[in-house]
Amino acid sequence: MKTIDDLGDLRGKRVLVRADLNVPLDGEAITDDGRIRASLPTIRALADRGARVVVCAHLGRPKGEVKPEFSLAPVARRLGELLGKPVAFATDVVGESAQATVAGLADGDVALLENLRFEPGETSKDDAERGAFAEKLAKLADVYVGDGFGAVHRKHASVYDVPKRLPHAAGQLVLAELEVLRRLTEQPQRPYVVVLGGAKVSDKLGVIENLLGLADRIIIGGGMGYTFLKAHGYEVGKSLLEADQVDTVRGYLAEAQKRGVEIVNAIDIVVADDFSPEANTQVVAANAIPAGWQGLDIGPETRKLYADKIVDAKTVFWNGPMGVFEMAPFAEGTRAVAEALTKVDGLTVVGGGDSAAAVRQLGFTDEQFGHISTGGGASLEYLEGKVLPGIEALADSA
């Protein structure tokens, strides 16, 4: 896989950078600019070498329609602030504005195209439709740099098809993410602890299956934890439950026992009588969730248990919050796990998505962890052993 150092003299060349700028917005206010910051090293390096940098990215899921609430205009403003210079913004993706904006760039300038997903061809499953859009996008540039790690598991035009049409290289963020993932999957330092949370166990089944042959200990929390509790024969009240996955989870529990992998489940739960920060709450044993109540966080004894199971690790991968961290009464489980990771003497990886948002919202800094991934879904698919289309395209030696 080529790096940007392999691209030679870039002065005067138009370099299309596929970045991941899919940031959370409150109106036009960016509530977490972590992904923009993570994209800066590659963009700066290219601009400093005299490239005319054309950044493209997606935001949300507008499903091929132009929807103002998904415009990248606020991202262009923030990118300019962080770079310390103006970022030209094209009000379309490959149309007149994009063409004029790119044509107006001088060496070292940076532009951002409008949301890629405003174009149906970006996400189309039809190869011809996707390819036709990729042709238009490729015509805006001389070179392609793939740096949007959060999208490399998608077979989208800007991720998979454009690098087939241009000389290409991997950006610094993609290389950094891959290096961390290799450390998690190729002879990780032990004990190796994996912490999995989030809503659905079905989203994590492939990861669990793959990690049963790799991890020493898997800690389960969040909404997916109630399917595990059900698999142990416990009643879970109105808690989130994927009943169709209970038998699958039982199978994983049996396989873990056979392989000597420790599966750690909650021993107490914070339950509520409503999904609300104003709900009545109580702490109950994991096998005593009352009918009509729902678990929204791990309890205090579980927080201590999980912290004890994390702090002696040499490698930790964490993906998914332990509870509904967005509501203050149900954030303490996630806070406890994050705090435990900061005390680990080894590699700690926060696996993107809600986990990354949670640690920042709870007041932790990026520097307190070994690595905060920008791509939750991409990280999980890599850990499942899947081929990532965007990485496959970059690995092609063209």
Residue 260 shares a structural domain with residue 212: yes
> Whole-prediction pTM value?
0.89
Phi then psi for 297, rounded to 5 degrees? -165, 160
Residues paired with 157 in a beta bridge: none
What is the arithmetic mean of pLDDT over 35-46? 96
Residue 78 is labelled as binding a ligand: no
Residue 39 shares a structural domain with residue 111: yes
Task: Give the three-state DSSP class for 232.
Answer: coil
What is the arithmetic mean of pLDDT over 374-380? 87
Phi then psi for 60, rounded to 5 degrees? 65, -160
pLDDT in tens, 8-38: 999 999 999 999 999 999 898 998 898 999 9
In our burial notation (b when 16+ CB lie closer than 10 A, e otherwise), range 156-166 reads: bbbbbbbbebb
Note whether residue 155 is domain-resident.
Answer: yes
What is the arithmetic mean of pLDDT over 168-177? 96
Residue 250 shares a structural domain with residue 114: no
Report CA 105 to chain centroid distance, whole Å: 31
Catalytic (active-site) positions: 35, 200, 353, 377
pLDDT in tens, 241-291: 999 999 999 999 999 999 999 999 999 999 999 999 999 999 999 999 999
The last residue of a domain, from among 123, 152, 176: 176
Task: Give the three-state DSSP class for 83.
Answer: helix
Q: Indicate the number of domains in the chain.
A: 2
d(CA 89, CA 387): 33
Residue 273 is labelled as binding a ligand: no
Q: Could you give the angle at which helices 300-311 and 332-342 cross, rounded to 10 degrees?
A: 20
Type of residue at 294: Q
Note whether residue 389 is domain-resident.
Answer: no
Q: What is the CATH number of the domain that holds 364?
A: 3.40.50.1260
What is the arithmetic mean of pLDDT over 333-351? 96
Residue 151 shares a structural domain with residue 249: no
Note whether residue 274 is domain-resident.
Answer: yes
Note whether residue 390 is domain-resident.
Answer: no
Residue 326 is labelled as binding a ligand: yes
Given pLDDT bands bounded at 50, 70 and 90, which one contains residue 397? low
Q: Give the mean pLDDT of the chain.
A: 95
How would you class 258 by CB atoms within 10 Å of its CB: exposed for 0-12, middle for 13-18, buried for 19 or more? Answer: exposed
d(CA 314, CA 345): 6
Residue 219 shares a structural domain with residue 240: yes
Residue 363 is labelled as binding a ligand: no
Residue 151 shares a structural domain with residue 209: no
CB of 193 within 8 A of CB of 216? yes
Phi then psi for 319, rounded to 5 degrees? -135, 115
Residue 118 shares a structural domain with residue 85: yes
Residue 355 is labelled as binding a ligand: yes
Given pLDDT bands bounded at 50, 70 and 90, which one contains residue 398? low
Note whether residue 387 is domain-resident.
Answer: no
Residue 239 is labelled as binding a ligand: no
Residue 92 shares a structural domain with residue 197: no
Residue with tokens 């109580």: 282
Note whether residue 12 is domain-resident.
Answer: yes
Residue 175 is labelled as binding a ligand: no
Query: What residue numbers bound the domain in which 28 lies?
Result: 4-176
The last residue of a domain, from among 125, 150, 176: 176
Check residue 356 and give its pLDDT: 86
Residue 164 is labelled as binding a ligand: no
Residue 58 is labelled as binding a ligand: yes
3-state secondary structure 35-58: HHHHHHHHHHHHHHCCCEEEEECC
Residue 153 is labelled as binding a ligand: no
The last residue of a domain, from among 176, 196, 225: 176
What is the arithmetic mean of pLDDT over 80-96? 98
Q: Report the sign of the C-alpha dihedral through residues 361, 364, 367, 371, in that order.
A: negative
